Each structure stands twice: as C-alpha cells, then as structure tokens.
Amino acid sequence: MNGSSYLRLSPKSRTWTGFSQAWLGSDHLLIVNSNRLVEHYQRFAFADIQAIVVAEGGRRAVWPSAVALVCFALSTWVQITFGKGFFAVIGLAALVFAIVDIARGPRCRCILQTAVSGERLYAISRMRTARSFLTTISPVIEAVQGSAPAEDLAAQRAMTPQIATAESTARPPAIERPLGYTPEILFGLLMLDSVLVFVALQSTFSVAFGLLPTMYFAEFLIGILALVQSRTRSATSVAVLIAAFLCILIDPFALSGAAAWPSVVAVFRQPAAGTDPWNTRMAASGTAMLLAVGWRATMAITGLAVCHFERTAKGE
C-alpha cells in the first residue's frame, strides 16, 4: 500500500460510470471523482469552506418497486417457462434494488460553499453519510477557522463589503502552452498512407484487406485525437485538420473505397475459374487510384506546411 495522508470520510457513492468519495487531508477536504480508469481530484482548503448545506431528497425506491410488481405479475401471466423465469429474475433484481435503497436510508443533496463556488458533493448522497460527514469535518474546519454563533456570522457578513473594488490593469504573465505534435503525426501518416494505398490498390485482395482497414482505423483514431487537441491551434490549422478528417471519413466509402469495393464484389461474385479470389489482383481504375492517393498526399503536404508555418510564427 502506498503511503497516504488521507482519511476516508464517506463510502464510495457509485454510479454506472464510476464513483465519488470524500477524504480528509491535513489541511483540505479531498473529493475524488473516478471513472474507474482515471481519478479526478478536487481540493477544498479548510480555511476556504464557508458552509455545508445538506437537503434531504426523495426516495427512489418507488420505481424499482413498481418494476418488481409489474415483473412478478407478468411472470405469473406469461405461459412460456423461459418468460416466467426471465420476468421473475428481473422482478427479483428490482426488488433487491428497492430493499437495498430503503435500507441505505434517505438520499440527499450536499453543497459545499466557498467564496467563489457552490460545489455539489456527489460523494455525500445519503443523509446517514451526510450526518457522519458533518460530525467529522465540522470540528476540523472549526479548528482552522474558529467558531462563532450563526447570528454573529450573519451580522458580520452584513457589514463586510461584498465586492472587491480594487482596480488593477496589471495581469499575471500569460503561460504559453507548447503545441502538440498530433497534427504532424496525422499528416505524416497520411503521407505514408498515400504510398500504402497505392501499393494496396495495385496488389492482391489479401494484401489490400490487410492494409486498408488498418489504415482507415489509424487515420480515424489519430484524426479524432488531433481534433480534440486542436484548441490551441490557429484557425488555418484547425480548418486543414477538419478538411483532412472529413476526407478520412469519406474515403472508405467514396475515394479509396470506390476503388476497392466494386472490384471486390465483381471478383467474389464471379471468380475466375481455378483462381483463389484472395490472390486476384485489384482492378482499381486510374481515376479512383489517383483520387485515393492524391487527397492523402495533398492533405499531408498542406497540413505539414501549415503546421511548420504555425510553429515558425510562434517561434518554436
């Protein structure tokens, strides 16, 4: 176990995609939101926490109970044995869900308030958890901030200025984020693929079927990645990226696809006598091949040039 300075404040509040949990740090409250593969951390310094508000929510056991009732009714009504079993299992699962939900107590919505935000704590989803959470964290926060009666706090708050009026034109220095290399990788791949497409469309079906799907998949994947990371890029780069991605999307159906699929269909419908269709050469037309190879080469050269100029302009 790795050394950790955190103490658990709440059980995991699970959802379909992950969980949320509250932990007590030395000088802050840590909220962990996990999607199972990545944990995201939010820290709230004890000195910054202004209030914690918990409101009891409704019970959600009504729906599972209704589902359970309907399923049990259907299981008695249906004549087929499989249907009976199916509805009985679903009904039982819904019933267990409802019982567990009731046993865990009423739900709640918890909001942690600071001077600049009101953060919903999904980790605190039950009133029972909320009570133990407040019991643990309140003394810790009060040890840092001190304590005062609510009426005094309200009176003090009414007297303090609400908005800072300090005018300052100076700003902290801007931080330049370095440009990533994903677009260059994409355009480099397109350049390489232009050669591979040429080879694939000139060779046998077995070679083409080995190469083309892999290429499409790689281009599609890196294209998405490049688009996701294109926020810091110039408008020209983004425009070229979008154009390249559109071509990647269209290509398997119209460009290189137009070169490959008709000949595939023709050969597999009427294979030449005594020949294995997989070893038949692709009969792509010159225009289709020119289009499939041409757009990749053009996009690659344009994209690499745009990226180069963008880097030069930024002084990288």
Partner 1 sequence: MTLEGILCSACLRPLPVELWSGAEGQRCPFCQAPVLVKVFPAFAQFKSGSLPQPLMADVEASCFYHAQNRAATPCDECGRFLCSLCTLEISGKSLCPVCFETNRRGRKIQDLESSRTMHDSVALALAIFPAFIFWPILVTAPLTLFWIFRHWNSPRSILPRTRVRYYFAGLIALSQIVLIAVVIVAIFMVRR
Contact between 308 and partner 1 by CB under 8 A: the answer reads: no
Q: Which region among 29-37, 209-217, 273-281, 292-300 touches partner 1 (by CB under 8 A)?
A: 29-37
Q: How far is the CB of 177 from partner 1 (least distance, A)?
A: 9
Residues in the chain: 316
Q: How far is the CB of 25 from partner 1 (least distance, A)?
A: 9
**Distance of alpha carbon 114 from alpha carbon 120, whole angstroms:** 11
Site for partner 1 in 160-199 (CB under 8 A): 160-161, 164, 166, 168, 170-173, 175
**Distance of alpha carbon 305 from alpha carbon 185, whole angstroms:** 13
Closer by beta carbon to partner 1, 49 or else 282: 49
**Distance of alpha carbon 84 from alpha carbon 79, whole angstroms:** 7
Output the CA torsion sign for 184, 188, 194, 200: negative
Nearest to 57 by CA among 98, 6, 108: 108
Is 310 in contact with 234 (CB distance < 8 Å)? yes
Contact between 228 and partner 1 by CB under 8 A: the answer reads: no
Place of tokens 């302009």: 313
Is 121 in contact with 9 (CB distance < 8 Å)? no
**Distance of alpha carbon 248 from alpha carbon 301, whole angstroms:** 15
Closer by beta carbon to partner 1, 40 or else 308: 40
What the block records as the tokens of 58 is: 């409704």
Q: How far is the CB of 151 from partner 1 (least distance, A)?
A: 6
Closer by beta carbon to partner 1, 152 or else 276: 152
Q: Is 183 exposed, middle or buried (0-12, 13-18, 19+ CB in 10 A)?
A: buried
Closer by beta carbon to partner 1, 85 or else 139: 139
Q: How far is the CB of 30 from partner 1 (least distance, A)?
A: 8
Q: Which region among 89-97, 158-166, 267-275, 284-292 touches partner 1 (by CB under 8 A)?
A: 158-166
Contact with partner 1 (CB under 8 A): which of 145, 202, 236, 279?
145
Give SS3 for 55: strand
Closer by beta carbon to partner 1, 54 or else 304: 54
Site for partner 1 in 84-123 (CB under 8 A): 108-111, 113-115, 118, 120
Closer by beta carbon to partner 1, 154 or else 199: 154
Contact between 1 and partner 1 by CB under 8 A: the answer reads: yes
H-helix or E-strand spanning residue 57: none
DSSP string, 100-136: HHHHT--BEEEEEE-SS-EEE-TT--BHHHHHHHHHH
Binding-residue pattern over the window 34 to 73 for partner 1, x denoting contact by CB under 8 A: x-xxxxxxxx---xxxxxxxxxxx----------------
What the block records as the tokens of 146 is: 């001190």
Could you list the residues that contact partner 1 (CB under 8 A)?
Answer: 1-2, 4, 6, 23, 28, 30, 32, 34, 36-43, 47-57, 108-111, 113-115, 118, 120, 127, 130-131, 134, 138, 141-142, 145-148, 150-154, 156-158, 160-161, 164, 166, 168, 170-173, 175
